[in-house]
Structure 1
Amino acid sequence: MSTSKIALVTGGSRGLGKDMALKLAQQGIDVILTYRSQQAEAAAVVAEIEALGRRAVALPLNSADSSTFDPFFAQVTTALSATFGTDRFDFLINNAGTSLTAPIAENTEAQFDEMLNIHFKGVYFLTQKALPLLRDGGRIINISSGTTRVTFAGSSAYASMKGAVEVFTRYLALELGPRGIAANVVAPGAVFGGGAMTDTPEIRAYVAQITALGRVAEPDDIGGIVAFLCSDAGRWLNGQRLEATGGMML
């Protein structure tokens, strides 16, 4: 049986998820990462993790479609046995997501449902389906957003779903406490270089100006926080929201 700890990182082919996967691997943790369509990019991340001396597998997942979660976890079970020699994993990082900017007056029901399915319903039921495979004493890290604390026009649907995830995380912490599983939220601000943010010099200048540390965030600023929460040093954090915005709009 494998003695290495294993993390499942959704949306691990690029951006924040890629950096989280690599930081976890640098910490000695094996990784299952998911991708929606970027198979080649996901394979490249697997190769990077293997170059660090860890094991990794990339699996396809549409985190907005809960009807696919049962077959997905069947694949996870197969990968755990075939690649890692075990039947459980230790850390669930719900990172996969997209962004949406639309004023309330113009938001469509289809756009709202997309945000709901990806950022809340998907997180809720993917976590539910993961629980039988998550080892007692493990961790759940949900990715939220600085927009649950400060408001930006156009972010209402996205931020509302992230707010729901933050409440959900506290309930996870309470209900999974008897299994020794801790659940926390990491809430990044505007992160550039990951493909999700609209990236222009003007937007970068604005974000830097409203951030106490005077610059924008890159994916490399966030992955280490997730890795810390999966370390022994982070074991007593539970039910908490860690905002990683560099001090945005303090």
Structure 2
Amino acid sequence: MGRLTGKTALVTGSSRGIGRAVAVRLAEQGALVAVHYTSNEEAARETVTTIEKDGGSAFAVRAELGVPGDVDELFGGLAEGLRERTGTSGLSILVNNAAVKVAGPVEDATPEDFDRLYAVNVKAPFFLIQRALPHLSEGGRVINISSGLTRLGDPSSVTYAMTKGALEQLAPHLAKLLGPRGITINTVLPGATRTGAAFWEDPALVEEITEMSALKRVGEAGDVADVVTFLASDEARWITGSSVDATGGSLVA
């Protein structure tokens, strides 16, 4: 019996990276996990297969976020998958992890990129929470994945950091709305986390990131997933409206 046995979870953007690690951890603790993806069905299936090989339960659900009808598409697939497996569309845990990032000189930023980042990173999580409200069970969990870049200046990532800063406002403002139902809402701020991106092949960059951490190593997706899993558990029932630094001490002055 895991800490999350009998729970259902939706993890957006969970076909790879931090989202995949979160989905796997939640399933290891007994949750039935909806693995959301945008276009890479094969990667989503791999996540589901990994979970099932370890004895967990999961299913994939597709929806492109940040476009008209995104929430309807996602919750339509989610409700269908949950009813097939549990008989209801009740949701215990919502993890808003999906995000897009465009980095580069401020001078090269475009209105199109700006609008896309806000649509995926801010608008989609807000309306996913709104849609989830009638489905969230008593004592449920909402966990939003932000970024340590909201606390660390990087001109090349200013638009992305702005969207994550906006995302962080959801927890303190919605905590009192959700609290009477025993639902907590919190934000996790990962630092530089090894997810398989090409830039991790640069030894100089890895060394620079390592030196930034108080723990003198780079972050792994599992490090963040463990924090999310804790917040999803009953042990975190007294934490809400908070932001949790999961940067390995990279923000310590």
State the match for 2:194 in structure 1.
192
Q: Unaligned regions of 5+ residues in structure 2, if any? A: none
Q: Name the residue aligned to 1:36.
A: 38
1:171 corresponds to: 173
Q: Residue 231 of structure 1 corresponds to which residue in structure 2?
A: 233
Which secondary structure state, in structure 2, belongs to the residue aligned with residue 215 of structure 1? coil
With over 3 angstroms needed to count, the CA separation of the structure-2 counterparts of 1:249 and 1:74, relative to structure 1, is closer
Contact map agreement 1:99 1:158 (CA 8 A) in 2: yes
Q: Which runs of 4+ in 1 moved over 3 A?
A: none
CA contact (8 A) 1:7 1:32 kept: yes
> What is the alpha-carbon distance in structure 2 between the residues aligned to residue 127 and residue 170 of structure 1?
14
Matched, 1:117 2:119: yes
- What is the match of residue 248 of structure 2? 246
Using structure 1 for the length normalisation, give the TM-score. Answer: 0.94
2:23 maps to what in 1? 21
Q: Does the 8 Å contact 1:63/1:126 carry over to 2?
A: no
Q: Distance in 2 between matches of 1:117 and 1:165?
A: 11
Partner of 1:49: 51
Map 1:34-183 → 2, pairs under 5 A: 34-183=36-185
Describe the SS at the equivalent of 1:62.
coil
- CA-to-aligned-CA distance 1:84-107 (integer Å, 9 cap, x gap): 332201000000112221232321
Is the CA contact (8 Å cut-off) linking 1:12 and 1:96 kept in structure 2? yes
CA distance in 1, matches of 2:206, 2:188: 22
Q: Is the CA contact 1:194–1:219 (under 8 Å) kept in the aligned structure 2?
A: no
Give the conservation status (yes or no) of the 8 Å contact 1:36–1:62: yes
Instruction: Provide the secondary structure at the position in 2 that maps to 1:198.
Output: helix
In the alignment, structure 1 residue 205 sits paired with structure 2 residue 207: yes
Ranges in structure 1 where 5+ consecutive residues have no aligned partner: none
Question: How much has 1:66 moved relative to structure 2?
Answer: 4.5
For 2:52 and 2:174, locate their aligned partners in 1 and report how far apart those are by CA, in whole Å: 32
Q: Are the aligned partners of 1:63 and 1:123 in contact in 2 as well (CA < 8 Å)?
A: no
CA distance in 2, matches of 1:249, 1:169: 20
Alignment partners' CA distance in 2, 1:104 and 1:174: 37
CA distance in 2, matches of 1:52, 1:89: 22
Q: Percent same amino acid at aligned positions? A: 40
Residue 186 of structure 1 contacts residue 226 of structure 1 at CA under 8 Å; is this kept in 2? yes
Q: Is the 2:194–2:220 contact (alpha carbons within 8 Å) kept by the matching residues of 1?
A: yes
C-alpha contact 1:21 1:33 (8 A) present in aligned 2 = yes
Alpha-carbon distance, 1:194 to partner:
4.2
Q: Distance in 2 between matches of 1:23 and 1:31?
A: 10
Query: Offset at 1:52?
Result: 2.4
RMSD over aligned Cα atoms: 1.5
Contact 1:103 1:156 in 2 (8 A): no
2:95 counterpart letter in structure 1: I
**Secondary structure in structure 1 of the residue aligned to 2:219:** coil
Contact 1:14 1:194 in 2 (8 A): no
The one-letter code of the counterpart of 1:183 is I
How far residue 51 of structure 1 moved from its aligned partner, in angstroms, is 2.0
Larger CA deviation: 99-108 vs 167-176: 99-108
8 Å CA contact 2:62–2:77 kept in 1: the answer is no
Specify whether residues 63 and 194 from structure 1 end up closer, same or farther in structure 2 by C-alpha distance, changes over 3 A only.
Answer: farther
